[in-house]
Amino acid sequence: APLAPEVDTMMLAEGYLRNFYGLETELHPSFKRKITDSVSEKLKKMQSFFGLKVTGKLNNETVEMMKQPRCGVPDIGE
Amino acid sequence: YVLIDGNPKWPRNDLTYRIINRTPDMRPADVDEAIKQAFEVWSNVVPLTFRKIEDGAADIMMSFQFRDHGDGYPFYGPHGTLAHAFQPGPRIGGDVHFDEEETWTKNSKGYNLFIVAAHELGHSLGLAHSPDPGSLMYPNYAYRDTKEFHLPQDDINGIQAIYGQSLQPVQPTGPSTPRTCDPNLSFDAVATLRGEMLFFKGRYLWRKHPQIRETEINLISQFWPTLPAGIQAAYEDVEKDQFVLFKEDKFWVFKESNVVHGYPKRIHQLGFPKTVKRINAAFSDKNTRKTYFFVANKYWRYDENRQSMDEGYPRNIISVFGKIGKVDAAFQHDGYIYLFHGRKQTQFDPNTKQVVRVLKSTSWFGC
């Protein structure tokens, strides 16, 4: 069963989504809820692109994909 | 394939490139050759030409860069991001930057410069990342045999959508990624590995976990970079936690992603006569530790404990497994043996020695 992601995994994921899926950096604490939704949406895009199960949640399979060496060009147009 | 938003492209077909600096990881001549070949990957399939210049501004400037290098996209040290490129356009447009902190090579160790350069040049010419895991424009690095490199069909379709077809009389074609639910799909080899099922076909393998609905397709080289494509047989030795793969007269033993020292070896070291040139299929019975090898219409049985072939073999497949004929792939699951031939697989009960049913080869994928 997928394990709960650790804190540094969450940082890895946010960095990855920022670099390759245009996740915007959190500027204000009150936007926390919105940012979380945004992470989920970006995760869905990433999972869909790589043919993973689309959950919008950070699971082991998604983290493993994020850890793979890759090209620095974003996977999305915007 | 996916085109970069706005469909940017070069307005001319005769482009120039310049190599600004070279990595100390490789001989300068090898860097130049890898980059030249990377350009040829694309010029072979579209009416573009690339001319190398030594001074001044070229359309595509290629360089090795370190950490923050002033373009707003810093590198962060080894692994992670390997390189990036800019879409067609003036000044920085088309330029390619490689992360100097990676280990660049002309083989399967570290990161192969030719493969990364060819991928980045796809961006320089107007291609975005493709979700096809077999394509060159897939964002994750995977080593592939560079001596026999053929640009995948997905990439050919993409670049020809931008620049048109090659001027060559015969249009180049490339390998296509197999479709998981293709009714005509057959397999080169099938095996279990740590509770998952692996299905091999050409350069690809599908991973299927019995409790997970989705099936994942990957390049074989993503897991075992040193293995050639076209594996012909495979089996898991559960007791030793090893994975054995066969191609032609060689076999490899892997422990996780590392090849065990001394491999590949010749199949004749297992006790096969010299007349046997390749293994078509294999499976290992984890209870008896007997491994079955299928060759043409016969099979051999190998004792993993004694490390030798059992007496009285080969036997005819038909005498034990029924009218199956040649076997392409085989594996054991939940006490049954599954024997694949073409688009079909036969579920065989070794206790009653009877065929239970005949299924489509892709039945495991939930198609």
Which chain A residue's Cα is nearest to B129? A75
* Residue in B4, B141, B212 closest to A69 by CB: B141
Complex-level ipTM? 0.70
Examine the pLDDT at A34 and tell me if it is beyond 50.
Answer: no
Examine the pLDDT at A13 and tell me if it is beyond 60.
Answer: yes
Assess whether B120 carries a catalytic annotation: yes
As a whole number, mean pLDDT of residues A17-45 equals 69
Q: Is B33 helix (H, G, I), strand (E, B) or coil?
A: helix
Contacts of A69 in chain B (CB under 8 A): 79-82, 111, 140-141
Tokens at B95, concatenated: 């330029």
Band of pLDDT at residue A28, cut at 50, 70 and 90: very low
Kindly report, residue by residue over B309-327, the tens digit of the pLDDT.
999 999 999 988 888 878 9
Amino acid, res. A55: T
Contacts of B81 in chain A (CB under 8 A): 19, 69-72
Kindly report, residue by residue over B110-121, the tens digit of the pLDDT.
999 999 999 999
As a whole number, mean pLDDT of residues B217-244 equals 91
DSSP secondary structure of B334-352: TTEEEEEETTEEEEEETTT
Q: How far apart are CA A40 and CA A34, in angstroms?
A: 10
Examine the pLDDT at B155 and tell me if it is beyond 60.
Answer: yes
Decide if B183 touches A, using CB distance below 8 A.
no
Question: Who has greater pLDDT, B70 or A25?
Answer: B70
Give me the pLDDT at residue A7, please.
Answer: 61
As a whole number, mean pLDDT of residues B327-349 equals 95
B 87-126 near A (Cβ less than 8 A): 111, 116, 119-120, 123
Examine the pLDDT at B293 and tell me if it is beyond 80.
Answer: yes
Cis peptide before B225 (omega within 30 of 0): no
∠ Cα B251 B255 B208 (to 5°)? 90
* Residue in B79, B84, B214 closest to A53 by CB: B214
Nearest to B115 by CA among B105, B123, B125: B105
Decide if B257 touches A, using CB distance below 8 A.
no
Contact B84 A73 (CB under 8 A): yes
Residues B50, B43 contacting (CB under 8 angstroms): yes
Nearest to B42 by CA among B159, B143, B146: B159
Give me the pLDDT at residue A77, please.
Answer: 64
- Kindly state the DSSP code that residue B178 receives in the 8-state scheme: P
As a whole number, mean pLDDT of residues B122-128 equals 97
Examine the pLDDT at A71 and tell me if it is beyond 90.
Answer: yes
Contact A72 B111 (CB under 8 A): no
Cite the DSSP H helix spans in B237-342. 317-321
Amino acid, res. B7: N
Tokens at B345, concatenated: 């697989």
Cite the DSSP H helix spans in B57-151. 113-125
Min Cα distance A34 → chain B (Å) is 26
Min Cα distance B208 → chain A (Å) is 12
